[in-house]
Amino acid sequence: MSEIRGIARLKVHPGKLDAFKRHAAECMAIVRRMDSGTLQYEWFFSADSSECIVYERYRDSDALLEHVANLGDTMHALFETCAVSGEILGAPTGQLRANLEKAGVRIYAPYQSL
């Protein structure tokens, strides 16, 4: 299984919703314009817009690394407007695994029956 799935949980800081939505729109535009291996990238808001979940799917580990590189400063600006946690589902390569662990992202490997 080379596909990588991600769930990002974003809690918007009080008074930062407009900036958060602006940076989120920039992220979506960058993904459409630059990412070559992003299969799915959807944002979901709670009823009061105080929290957001981003559901992501990538062709493979290299595609997720490309995504992070493409977002660069925009992602950093977004993260200044919210608290972030997340999970990755899949079997990331060593390089991606190291980056994810450094960022505090939890990794869930696929269950493989015997």
6 contacts 71 by C-beta, under 8 angstroms:
no
Determine contact, residues 80/45, Cβ cutoff 8 Å.
Answer: no
Exposure of 39 in the CB half-sphere (CA atoms within 13 A): 12
Q: What pTM value is reported for the model?
A: 0.92
Q: What's at 65, amino acid-wise? A: L
Q: What is the pLDDT of residue 1?
A: 58
Residue 105 has pLDDT above 60, yes or no: yes
Question: Does residue 53 surpass a pLDDT of 60?
Answer: yes
Q: In the chain, what are the domain boundaries?
A: 4-108
What integer is the mean pLDDT of 1-30? 96
Res 31 pLDDT > 90: yes
pLDDT, averaged across the chain: 95
Domain 4-108 has CATH 3.30.70.100: yes
Place 114 in a pLDDT band, splitting at 50, 70 and 90: very low
d(CA 16, CA 19): 5
Q: Determine the average pLDDT of the residues in 47-69.
A: 97
pLDDT higher than 60, residue 111: yes
Q: Which two tokens stand for residue 98?
A: 């190291």
Q: Is 10 exposed, middle or buried (0-12, 13-18, 19+ CB in 10 A)?
A: buried
